[in-house]
């Protein structure tokens, strides 16, 4: 009789141990799966951020190239001309050049790259949105024409909703990313320059928040007027 009692006791103990091991295994698996999902989401966000930052660099290169073609007779004075609603006029005045500072780069209603200060009237305009650029066409296939996420763009460029020219601003979804373009200049000897120098330093910085952590990615390049490169000493 005692033998059966001992066997019964051992069976219960073994069952408890087995269930405990199983519970620990399930818990560890859940933790690993959760970490894996978080890492996947984090990697996805970083890829998106890098692409948004790269677009900022390419937009500035497009502005430089457009100026180079439009103002071929005044390339030295107009290669860094500030893109304005009427960009066909440039007198080479440095005051009309892109000044050092922080900007947002966006596409206007005519699909042209424009610049605007990153902060206007104490308002941060750096939020990046997914926008619907053609509300007459359903590009997502959901039978709705005004909710398609066609491209990234900044939707506020003046801080005044009555005076905005960003494309898609009336049909926008906040992505949680922010992008700022910092502009500065270098002299030929590598020091800090002015808008009359022929090397622009462009830094495209994208920030976002995931969980309790702030994340940042930054890309930097140099743009020039293509002329006078043989005079550089650094």
Residue 204: per-residue pLDDT: 98
Q: Tell me, yes or no, whether 88 lies in a domain.
A: yes
Backbone angles phi, psi at 217, to 5 degrees: -135, 145
3-state secondary structure of 21: helix
Q: Tell me, yes or no, whether 2 lies in a domain.
A: no
Total structural domains within the chain = 1
Specify which residues 202 forms β-bridges with.
183, 221
> What are the structure tokens assigned to 182, written together?
């910092």
Q: Tell me, yes or no, whether 18 lies in a domain.
A: no
Q: Tell me, yes or no, whether 11 lies in a domain.
A: no
Q: Tell me, yes or no, whether 28 lies in a domain.
A: no
The tens digit of pLDDT for each residue in 30-72 reads 666 666 665 566 678 899 999 999 999 999 999 999 998 888 8
- For residue 200, what are the domain limits? 40-231
Q: Tell me, yes or no, whether 32 lies in a domain.
A: no
Start-to-end CA distance of the chain, whole Å, equals 95
Q: Tell me, yes or no, whether 25 lies in a domain.
A: no
For the full predicted model, state whether its pTM sits above 0.85: no
Q: Tell me, yes or no, whether 162 lies in a domain.
A: yes
Q: Which run of H or of E encompasses 65?
A: helix 2-70
The tens digit of pLDDT for each residue in 174-211 reads 999 999 999 999 887 667 778 888 889 999 999 999 87
Closest CA to 186 of 178, 170, 197, 202: 197
């Amino acid at each position: 009789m005692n033998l059966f009692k001992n066997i019964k006791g051992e069976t219960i103990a073994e069952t408890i141990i087995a269930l405990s091991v199983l519970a620990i295994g399930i818990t560890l698996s859940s933790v690993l799966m959760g970490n894996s999902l978080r890492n996947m989401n984090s990697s996805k966000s970083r890829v998106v951020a890098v692409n948004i930052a790269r677009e900022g660099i390419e937009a500035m290169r497009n502005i430089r190239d457009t100026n180079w073609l439009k103002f071929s007779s005044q390339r030295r004075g107009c290669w860094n001309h500030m893109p304005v609603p009427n960009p066909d006029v440039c007198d080479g005045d440095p005051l009309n050049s892109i000044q050092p500072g922080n900007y947002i780069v966006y596409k206007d209603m005519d699909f042209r790259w424009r610049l605007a200060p990153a902060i206007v009237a104490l308002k941060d305009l750096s939020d990046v949105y997914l926008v619907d650029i053609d509300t007459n066409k359903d590009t997502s296939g959901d039978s709705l024409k005004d909710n398609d996420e066609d491209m990234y763009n900044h939707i506020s460029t003046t801080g005044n909703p009555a005076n905005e020219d960003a494309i898609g601003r009336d049909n926008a979804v906040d992505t949680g990313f922010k992008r700022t373009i910092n502009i500065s200049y270098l002299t030929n000897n590598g020091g800090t320059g002015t808008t009359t120098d022929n090397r622009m330093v462009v830094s495209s910085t994208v920030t976002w928040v995931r969980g309790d952590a702030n994340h940042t990615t930054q890309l930097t390049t140099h743009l020039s007027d293509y002329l006078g490169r043989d005079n550089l000493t650094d």
